[in-house]
């Protein structure tokens, strides 16, 4: 069986939440400190993007809340961009399924980045126009693409775990037959 560099941790780290982004929304737009336990969980990008997705249909959040969460998503997606760049540099040493994972995650990340940048630009110029369809579409795309990216990472990590288990069982059976 062909061996390659183990990319599981790199894929997992794509969605890890930077420690400086540890707040929950309030309706008035002010951040609220989250519990220490939630700071350790992966998926900060998805959580913040999901929150933005709810903003698309909820008029109770201020433009400051929108700006706060867009800034958080921007921080997360920039970190993801750096990590996907690192994965692209070692892509030649990856197995075909790992190369596919890198391609798919990079595609989702590019969609999140483009919509995040467009939403930030809109908000800078239109702080009182939070419910125009174009802006709401950006928020929805951020939420959907972030969720798709996390789901893609999870599936590839599950695949890798299954491959490792298969290899372990295969080795055990070969040892038992001697």
| Domain limits, the chain | 8-14+43-176
Residue 144: count of CB within 10 angstroms of its CB = 17
Most confident of 47-51, 56-60, 120-124: 120-124
User: Bigger pLDDT: 15 or 50?
Assistant: 50
**43 pLDDT band (50/70/90 cuts)?**
low
User: Looking at residues 51-65, what average pLDDT do you find?
Assistant: 87
pLDDT value at residue 80: 94
Cα–Cα distance between 25 and 49 in angstroms, integer?
Answer: 12
Which tens digit of pLDDT belongs to each residue from 141-152?
A: 999 999 999 999
Tell me the C-alpha distance between 90 and 45, whole Å. Answer: 24
> How far apart are the C-alpha atoms of 128 and 138, rounded to whole Å?
16
pLDDT in tens, 75-124: 999 999 999 999 999 999 999 999 999 999 999 999 999 999 999 999 99
Nearest CA to 51 among 78, 31, 36, 79?
Answer: 31
Predicted TM-score (pTM) of the model is 0.74
Label residue 177 left, alpha or beta by phi (over 0 means left) and psi (-120 to 50 means alpha): alpha
Q: What is the CA radius of gyration of the chain?
A: 19
Q: Is the domain covering 8-14+43-176 a CATH 3.40.50 domain?
A: no
Q: What is the mean pLDDT of residues 52-68?
A: 88
Confidence category of residue 176, pLDDT binned at 50, 70, 90: low
**Angle at alpha carbon of residue 41, lines to 35 and 42, rounded to 5°:** 145
- Strand ranges for 82-134 from DSSP E: none
**What does the pLDDT read at residue 9?**
60
d(CA 25, CA 73): 13
Distance CA 49, CA 55 (A): 10
Q: Mind listing the pLDDT tens digit for each residue in 1-12?
A: 444 455 666 655
């Amino acid at each position: 069986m062909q061996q390659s560099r183990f990319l599981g941790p790199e894929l997992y780290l794509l969605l890890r939440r930077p420690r400086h982004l540890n707040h929950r929304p309030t309706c008035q737009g002010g951040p609220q400190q989250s519990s220490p336990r939630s700071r350790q969980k992966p998926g900060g990008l998805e959580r913040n993007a999901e929150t933005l997705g709810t903003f698309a249909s909820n008029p109770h959040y201020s433009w400051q809340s929108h700006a706060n969460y867009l800034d958080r998503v921007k921080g997360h997606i920039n970190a993801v961009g750096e990590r996907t760049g690192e994965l692209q540099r070692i892509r030649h040493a990856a197995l075909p399924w790992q190369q596919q994972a890198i391609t798919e995650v990079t595609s989702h990340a590019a969609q999140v980045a483009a919509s995040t940048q467009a939403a930030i630009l809109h908000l800078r110029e239109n702080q009182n126009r939070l419910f125009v369809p174009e802006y709401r579409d950006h928020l929805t795309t951020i939420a959907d693409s972030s969720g798709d990216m996390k789901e893609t990472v999870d599936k590839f990590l599950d695949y890798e775990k299954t491959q490792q288990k298969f290899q372990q069982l295969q080795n055990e059976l070969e040892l038992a037959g001697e």
